[in-house]
């Protein structure tokens, strides 16, 4: 039933809603927090402020998440009669849950990042091979990033249980090895989150199938998707038979330090396979694997 309100009543109820949101705002920052932030800022007098952890976060999960997200969007776009959250959930789950329990998911991909803009000197372009091994039973994730130009190891990351260990071969001209307690890192109800996000994208009509192409004799849809206030354009090729993602490309138009520019990111999935756990060497998902790979003499930082 519709409840009919006068304009005045509507405005009053909206103001009441705003008052409720006011109570949800974080409190003014305490002195301790302010001091921490200030010290952190003062300690970061370096050109690049992209933290290794942020890079890890997005590279580790980027391809799979984006693939799942776009699968959900595309499925909805292709099935207008079934545009329901339940349908989106099924499709997203289908994309995510293709890993068999007890196996190790192995993904080989390439990753490139290029910044076009006035600040291009601040961001070195990347052209990397990106390898991920994810234990289906949640025992660990190992990620290797190597420079495709010379095959050298750029980064090695292992997350086991609640601990992340990272080796970066060159950060600001020197190697870095650190580990971090991840037990407090937020792990959201991702599918619920994505379904909500997808629903909004469907409502605003930002995901569309723009064409089809043949790759290696198989048919793929081309799906384009604009999100985040129109500043991210995503283009995906997706196999029509099972909705698997072949390529995922993202152009991010953003401003950096007040000047305009475009950041281009590309992930191309080359192989996705499932391995028997026994096919990997002992200690493959261990913290020691990272420490052993680090440049000798690199101190281990603990965060």
CB of residue 209 to other proteins, shortest distance in Å: 22
135 binds other proteins (CB under 8 A): yes
Residue 189's φ and ψ, nearest 5 degrees, are -75, 85
Among 127, 181, 242, 257, binds other proteins (CB under 8 A): 257
245 binds other proteins (CB under 8 A): no
Three-state secondary-structure class, residue 71: helix
- Interface region with other proteins, contact rule CB under 8 A, candidates 133-141, 216-224, 277-285, 286-294: 133-141
Q: Which is nearer to other proteins, 140 or 294 (CB)?
A: 140
99 binds other proteins (CB under 8 A): yes
Residue 76's φ and ψ, nearest 5 degrees, are -70, -40
256 binds other proteins (CB under 8 A): yes
CA–CA gap between residue 209 and residue 178 (Å, rounded): 43
30 binds other proteins (CB under 8 A): yes
In sequence order, which residues have a C-beta less than 8 Å from that of residue 240 and are 6 or more positions away?
Answer: 212, 218, 219, 220, 221
Three-state secondary-structure class, residue 275: strand
23 binds other proteins (CB under 8 A): yes
Tokens of 82: 């079934």
72 binds other proteins (CB under 8 A): no
Interface with other proteins in residues 217-236 (CB under 8 A): 228-229, 231-232
Q: Measuring CA to CA, how many Å separate 287 from each of 55, 163, 302?
A: 19, 8, 13
57 binds other proteins (CB under 8 A): yes
109 binds other proteins (CB under 8 A): no
28 binds other proteins (CB under 8 A): yes
Contact 245, 238 (CB under 8 A): yes
**# chain residues binding other proteins, by CB under 8 A:** 79
186 binds other proteins (CB under 8 A): yes
**Residue 140, CB half-sphere, CA atoms under 13 Å: how many?**
21
Among 152, 185, 240, 274, binds other proteins (CB under 8 A): 185
Strands ordered across the beta sheet of 218-227: 207-215, 218-227, 232-239, 245-256, 259-275, 104-117, 126-135, 141-147, 153-160, 163-171, 174-181, 300-302
Q: Which is nearer to other proteins, 79 or 200 (CB)?
A: 200
Q: Which is nearer to other proteins, 24 or 150 (CB)?
A: 24
């Amino acid at each position: 039933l519709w409840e009919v309100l006068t304009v005045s009543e509507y405005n009053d109820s909206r103001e009441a809603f705003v008052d409720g949101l006011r109570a949800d705002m974080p409190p003014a920052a305490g002195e301790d927090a302010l001091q921490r932030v200030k010290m952190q800022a003062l300690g970061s007098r370096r050109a690049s402020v992209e933290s290794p952890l942020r890079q890890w976060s997005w590279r580790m999960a980027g391809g799979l998440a984006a693939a799942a997200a776009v699968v959900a969007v595309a499925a909805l776009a292709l099935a207008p009669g079934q545009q329901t959250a339940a349908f989106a959930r099924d499709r997203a789950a289908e994309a995510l849950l293709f890993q068999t329990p007890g196996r190790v998911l192995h993904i080989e991909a390439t990753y490139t990042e290029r910044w076009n803009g006035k600040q291009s000197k601040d961001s070195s372009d990347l052209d990397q091979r990106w390898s991920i091994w994810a234990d289906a039973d949640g025992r660990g994730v190992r990620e290797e990033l190597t420079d495709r130009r010379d095959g050298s190891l750029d980064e090695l990351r292992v997350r086991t249980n609640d601990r992340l260990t990272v080796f970066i071969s060159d950060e600001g001209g020197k190697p870095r090895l650190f580990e971090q307690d991840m037990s407090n890192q937020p792990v959201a109800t991702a599918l619920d989150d994505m379904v909500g996000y997808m629903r909004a994208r469907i409502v605003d009509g930002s995901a569309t199938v723009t064409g089809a192409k043949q790759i290696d004799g198989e048919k793929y849809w081309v799906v384009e998707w604009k999100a985040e206030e129109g500043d991210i354009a995503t283009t995906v090729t997706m196999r029509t038979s099972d909705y698997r993602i072949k390529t995922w490309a993202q152009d991010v138009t953003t401003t950096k330090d007040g000047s305009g520019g475009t950041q281009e990111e590309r992930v191309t999935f080359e192989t996705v396979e499932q391995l028997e756990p026994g096919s990997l060497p002992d200690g493959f998902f261990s913290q020691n694997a990272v420490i052993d790979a680090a440049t000798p003499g690199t101190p281990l930082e603990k965060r």
